[in-house]
Structure 1
Amino acid sequence: MRIRPLTVDGLTALVPTTVACLLGAEAGTQGWPPLDAFAWTLVALTNLPLALRGLAPVTVFLVVHLGWIVYVSLGHWPVVNSPAAMVALYTVASTRTDRITGACAALMSGVWIYAGVISDSDAMASVVGQAIGYPLVLWRFGYVARRSAELTVRLRAEQAERARREVAEERVRIARELHDVVAHHMAVINVQAGLARFVFDSDARTAREALTTIGNAGGEALAELRRMLGLLRADGVDGSDGVQEGGAATEPTPGLDRLEEMVERVRAGGVPVDLRVCGEPRPVPPGVQLCVYRVVQEALTNVLKHAPGAAAAVELAYRAGEIGVSVTDDGRAKERGRGVDPDRMPAPGGHGLIGMRERAKLYGGTIVVGPRREGGFGVHLTLPTSEQAARRGDAVTE
């Protein structure tokens, strides 16, 4: 539960108010006049405004010091209200510029010396030292607090901007990969169109099959184009369409048929990986295949980076209307059943997690990323394999 700043200021005001009441009760024993009803009222009017210090620091500072001056002028013990004056100066120093803080510090020093003079103190040297030392220390502490708050705000803004840029870069990169998928469909359409034209008069059945293939490939290409354009337009992100010189991709888009090849590379890197396929394999849209491939690639890369020597398992499951993939590891290199290494937790703005999230979102899937109860780490992705299911929405869980 987050506590409101005004509540914090109110609780803070109780501290100097309580100290003032304790000191005021002892004024008679210290050789000062006991507090009457008017003096107690002045104590309250001097300390309680601190509850509003966050809303108007300079105004509260002036009210506190005005009450302090009146209290001292009536011949009462100056120390009673000094904690309130210190809190008020610190608040100004931590929220306002050095020029304003300097003026307030000078005012506090003047009131402090005035209290020493009017009370006919025998230790004016000590009073002057306190009048100079306390404001300077409070000024310094307030300055450090103000600089820390400014740096925190700046850091948060930079982190938000960096996360936004990473999302934009990742979306453009995914869109470029989707271009490869669309280029694949166009190539299929071109070949099948040539075949249909060649056998149109001599083999009607083959021509019909070619036209059916063209229709299916064209539908899938349009769906991928819609996703790509939506991705590039999201949040006002502009990027290239991924078309390379010559209008063709330089290498084929990876799919499920290359999972074994990737797993072999990871095994060669020293990580034992077990690849299992559940269900009856069936054709899956190229974009979905690419999404699965990239998520598995990122998850295994994280195992190589953060848990070298751990055993990993990749399970690809074909289910009715969807395809799922899980990448898990036992995390033996970092843990022995006692939780997960903090270094393995994905950072809020982590580029790899952003990529997984954006890919799952693009295809209306769900992804769960995090430590496993039995130890290690796990990534679980589920994607619909039909366009209708993909339109129903998306969900990402971390």
Structure 2
Amino acid sequence: MIGRRQPWFPDVALAVAFTVVAVLLGREPEPGSQWQPQDALGIAITCLVNAPLAARRRFPLMVFALSSAVWVLFITLDYWPVVNSMGPFLALYTVASLRPLRPAAVCAVVMGAVWVYAGWRAGQPTPAVFAQAVVFPAVGCRFGVAARVSAHRAHRLAELAEQLRREQQDRMRRAVAEEQRRIARELHDVVAHHMSVINVQGGLASYVFDSAPETARSAIRTINETSHEVLGELRRMLTLLRTDADTGGPHDDPCHADGDAPESTPYTPMPGVSRLGEMAERITAAGVPVDLHIRGAPRPLTPGIDLCAYRVVQEALTNVLKHARPANATVVVSYDPRELTITVTDDGRPHRSLPDNVPPSSGHGLIGMRERARLYGGTLDVGRRAEGGFRVRLVLPA
């Protein structure tokens, strides 16, 4: 209702309906009263009382003034006041619903005075008339104020909802961009490593091509395998960056809290499944006992898959450390023929509040895990366990 153009048809229909009812009601005045039945003049005045209601929401104060003034004329000519009382009453309600309280209160006083004037014209200035002159305008004004407050709240809620939607979209876009930059940086390290290997092996093959053909062939095979791996990494990265992703974001790295250098430092090997034992020890030392189980025969993984598995386990255990203590966590790494399945479970319960020394979650961790899994063609399933606690299950092609 606030700040928007209102349709004109409902108000016009309401003005017509009020006019018809008033004309029909005025044909027979109150039995035993001195009021005269409506004649042609009375019908004309009735139309003038109710016609302004068609513009009540555009010009509420003017409509109330016109309707009340003509109503006073109607009463002065000894027509029954009740016939046209609803028009000014609706105009009063409209003023209270669209304008501040002060002009609405003034209009309520005016309407009460007109009501007292009608009683005086009838020769009945009784306490009942005075009571009606107070109660009826007060009720109309109160309902109008309530409608105005309700409309204002609805409008404000709509604005807040739209603002929240925009902020959520902005946060999501920022999260996607941050995670894409993070993945691109990590993949750059992998690509740089592979290109270094290719460069060295290429130089070796060229140097011993005539003197040691077997060594040269071995170097060429290494170049072939390494280039195949790096092309796969580049293909995955380009697939992610070309997609209008709607999820993604960075996540915290709690395992560096003890002062270790970040894994992305130049010439530092990327972390992988083989270093999950070190992570389990750090999380255990932080207060969450972690059991690590390896099923199947471990085998080498591509650097991207290895890093993805490591990061997902890292984020899952970080969430246990932040939100589920006291708890025990279990990490199961299963080497299946064509897949790598990692399951992280805990038996804790989420806390509503965190200790002062634990930073609140940014909300990007789960987004980042899903984005990493999708990048490498895997799936991530996150949810509560029926017996309590949480479960994170990652499946990657390997």
TM-score, normalised with respect to structure 1: 0.64
Deviation, 1:171, is 1.5
Shift in Å, 1:210: 1.9
- Displacement of 1:376 in angstroms is 0.4
Deviations 1:261-318 (A, max 9, x none): 1111111112111111112222211101111110000001111111223110111111
Check conservation: 1:316, 1:326, Cα contact below 8 A: yes
SS at match of 1:375: coil
Query: Counterpart amino acid of 1:123?
Result: F
Q: Which moved more, 1:375-384 or 1:318-327?
A: 318-327
- Rounded Cα–Cα distance in structure 2 between residues aligned with 1:87 and 1:348: 50
Partner of residue 215, structure 1: 224
Q: 1:79 to 1:144 in 2, by over 3 A?
A: farther
Equivalent residue runs for 1:198-347 within 5 Å: 198-235=207-244, 249=266, 251-331=268-348, 334=349
Structure 2 CA distance for partners of 1:308 and 1:342, relative to 1, 3 Å: closer
Return the offset for 1:85: 7.1
Give the unaligned 5+ runs of structure 2: 1-24, 36-46, 75-79, 120-128, 247-264, 355-359
Deviations 1:356-389 (A, max 9, x none): 111011111110111111110011011112xxxx
Length, aligned pairs only: 322
In the alignment, the residues of structure 2 paired with residue 82 and residue 278 of structure 1 have an alpha-carbon distance, to the nearest angstrom, of 83
Q: Equivalents in 2 of 1:137, 1:260: separation in Å?
A: 64
Contact 2:89 2:137 survives alignment (8 Å): no
**Structure 1 residues 363, 58: closer, same or farther in 2, change over 3 A?**
farther
State percent identity of aligned pairs.
47
Equivalent position SS for 2:366: helix
1:318-354 deviation line (CA, Å, top 9, x unaligned)? 11222111111011xx3xxxxx65679xx99821011
How far apart, in 2, do the equivalents of 1:177 and 1:235 lie? 20
> Distance in 2 between the 1:292 and 1:271 partners?
20
Cα gap change, 1:106 to 1:273, in 2 (>3 Å): same
Change (3 A) 1:249 1:87: farther
The 5 Å alignment of 1:186-205 reads 186-205=195-214
Superposed displacement of residue 236, structure 1:
9.6
Shift of residue 118, structure 1, vs aligned partner: 5.7
Distance in 2, matches of 1:358 and 1:226, equals 15
Match of 1:354 in 2: 367
Larger radius of gyration: 2
Q: Contact 2:309/2:342 (CA < 8 Å) preserved in 1?
A: yes
Checking the alignment, whether the CA contact within 8 Å between 1:110 and 1:131 is kept in structure 2 is no
SS in 1 for 2:227: helix
The answer on 1:369 being equivalent to 2:382 is yes
Cα displacement (A) at 1:172: 0.9
Q: Which whole-Å CA distance do the structure 2 matches of 1:235 and 1:136 have between them?
A: 48
Instruction: Pick from 144, 155, 158 the counterpart of residue 149 of structure 1.
Output: 158
Structure 1 residue 163 displacement after superposition = 2.1
Q: Which runs of 5 or more residues in structure 1 are unaligned? A: 1-23, 34-41, 50-55, 93-100, 238-247, 335-339, 386-398
Query: What is the CA-CA distance between 1:153 and the residue it aligns to?
Result: 2.1
Please say if residues 324 and 381 of structure 1, whose CA atoms lie closer than 8 Å, have aligned partners that are also in contact: yes
Structure 1 residues 81, 160: CA separation in 2 closer, same or farther (over 3 Å shift)? farther
Residue 177 in structure 1 maps to residue 186 in structure 2: yes
Which residue does 2:175 correspond to in 1?
166
Q: State the SS of the aligned residue for 1:123.
A: helix
Question: Whole-Å Cα distance in 2 between the matches of residues 301 and 133 of structure 1?
Answer: 58
Measured after TM superposition, the shift of residue 164 of structure 1 is 1.7
Q: CA deviation at 1:256?
A: 1.6
Cα separation, 1, equivalents of 2:312 and 2:394: 8
Please tell me whether the aligned partners of residues 108 and 131 of structure 1 are also in contact (alpha carbons under 8 angstroms): no
**Aligned partners of 2:180 and 2:240 also within 8 Å:** yes
2:329/2:345 contact within 8 Å kept: yes
Which whole-Å CA distance do the structure 1 matches of 2:336 and 2:59 have between them?
67
- Provide the C-alpha distance between the structure 2 equivalents of 1:65 and 1:269, rounded to a whole number of angstroms: 73
Q: How does 1:97-112 map to 2 (within 5 A)?
A: 101=99, 110=107
Q: Which amino acid aligns with 2:219?
A: A
Indicate the SS of the match to 1:265.
helix
Q: Following the alignment from structure 2 to structure 1, what is the Cα–Cα distance between the partners of residues 340 and 58?
A: 64
What's the CA shift for 1:143?
3.0
Q: Among residues 104, 117, 120, which one is paired with 2:114 in the alignment?
A: 117
* Cα distance, 1:57–1:373 mapped onto 2, change above 3 Å: farther
From the superposition, tell whether residues 126 and 87 of structure 1 become closer, same or farther in structure 2 (CA, over 3 Å): closer
Shift of 1:355: 0.6
Task: Write the distance in 1 (CA, Å) between the matches of 2:85 and 2:266.
Answer: 80
Q: Distance in 1 between matches of 2:391 and 2:89?
A: 55
Asked whether the 8 Å contact 1:199–1:207 carries over to 2, the reply is yes
CA contact (8 A) 2:92 2:107 kept: no
**How big is each residue's C-alpha offset from its partner over 1:16-56, in whole Å with a ceiling of 9 and x where there is no partner?**
xxxxxxxx9xxx9xx9x9xxxxxxxx9xx9xxx9xxxxxx9
Q: Residue in 2 aligned with 1:126?
A: 134
CA distance in 2, matches of 1:307, 1:58: 56
Say if 1:367 and 1:382, in contact at 8 Å, map to a contact too. yes
Inter-CA distance 110–83: structure 2 relative to 1 (3 Å threshold): closer
